[in-house]
Amino acid sequence: MDARAMTMTRLKHPMKRVGFVVNQSHPAAPELVRLLGDCLRARQIEFFGEADGAAGLGLTPAASNEVFEEADLCVALGGDGTLLRAARRLGDREIPIFGVHMGALGFMTEITVEDAAALLAKVVEGDFTVQRRVKLDVHLASRRLGTVLNELALNRGPRARIIDIELAIDGRFATRFRADGIIVSTPTGSTGYALSAAGPILDPALSATLITPICPHTLGLRPLVVPSQSQVELCLRFDPDDSSALLTLDGQSAETCVRPLDRLRITRARSDVLLVRNPNVDFFSILRSRLGWGCRP
């Protein structure tokens, strides 16, 4: 069995409750919510949306975030940012996410608007396949900051000075360098911020962690891939100017200020994210579509 097949799971799990996470700014969102809602209503499946804006989409507002954690399925309508928000809503619960592509790039949202209703009908009847995606746990000293599906980014602070970073893997010193910052990402996140920083594209079936420096002041420093079981530790070294740095998780959480001698610890999370697969596409067809591979200028 190849590595990609090992990340796939075929489920036979009828759905009773479905939560919606929607990019409300998309003009086609209300009509798609109505269409998918009709599919669920016809099967007597309860469905609801995020409290903020649910009523405007014809959805019952969720009383609390715990309601999402009790759902059998989460439907994310939008781009990768919407799917990342859905993953955060679900916390550590391994609830399948049905991602419909309505964004600009959308490497994670495999399902097209045209296929959404027909595929959702199969999914709620329990006939679908999911792919497991690795997440990372992030700790600052002894405090757990959260988990990421894409990446954490440590960037220089508001003073726009390069920062001095020490990198250790599994407790062993790896290197120390000065740069604008550093990105630690999952294979899923390799097509996110890390791609813009000249990092490699990793197949999401891999069990690995990608470390990508941002504009390093060292020509020999290149992106590094380590096993996902490895512990990655970052330390902002002492700077006479006391330059701090800003930490962002999945581009969604509020920035956290990291000060000199603070230590960040990144490990594989105990739970994964389950993404419902579209049987009509694969990872490489998505890359061709989103990145324009094979298209002549």
| 28's tokens | 């086609």
Calculate ∠ Cα 143-145-148, nearest 5°.
Answer: 145
Query: Could you tell me which residues are beta bridge partners of residue 232?
Result: 169, 266
d(C-alpha 225, C-alpha 209), whole Å? 6
Contact assessment for residue 162 and residue 181, using Cβ atoms and an 8 Å cutoff: no
Give the C-alpha separation, 97 to 25, whole Å: 20
Amino acid of residue 273? V
80 catalytic? Reply is yes
Rounded to 5°, angle at Cα 214 from 206 and 239: 125
Buried b (16+ CB within 10 A) or exposed e, 57-88: bebeebeeeebbeebbbbbbbbbbbbbbbbbb
Q: What are phi and psi of 73, to 5 degrees?
A: -155, 145
Return the exposure string of 189-211: e unless at least 16 CB atoms fall within 10 Å of the residue's CB, then b: bbbbbbbebebeebebbbebbbb
Q: Which of 80, 164, 250, 272 is catalytic?
A: 80
Within 8 A by CB and 6+ apart from 100, the residues are 32, 75, 76, 77, 78, 109, 111, 112, 113, 116
Give catalytic residue positions. 80
